[in-house]
Amino acid sequence: MKTIEKCLERGNNFNLIRLIAALFVIYGHTAAVTGNGPNDIYLQYVGNKFIGGLAVDIFFIISGFFISQRGQEVHLRISSAKS
């Protein structure tokens, strides 16, 4: 099982960002699930977006980074194989 310390040792903070985003989703849904949870503080102060929606955006951005990185790796392998 990976721990936060091991993720940080590798120099890859994407797992930590994903953990924080997952906690945002849980926090954002507490009022709806329990019926008496805290109001969304982020929505109250920023007034822009529900914190769960922000977390989903974070997940999509991180996925985009990984997909772009993988595409570049594949492109480099194809280019080097042709040479």
pLDDT, the chain, mean: 77
The domain of 71 spans 4-82
Q: Which residue has the higher pLDDT, 5 or 28?
A: 28
How high is the pLDDT of residue 9?
A: 59
In the predicted structure, residue 6 carries a pLDDT above the cut 70? no
Question: How far apart, in whole angstroms, are the C-alpha atoms of residue 57 and residue 46?
Answer: 16
Residue 45's Cβ-count burial label (10 Å; 0-12, 13-18, 19+) is exposed
Q: pLDDT digits over 23-62, tens only?
A: 988 888 887 777 776 677 777 777 777 888 888 888 898 8
Total number of domains constituting the chain:
1
How high is the pLDDT of residue 12?
A: 65
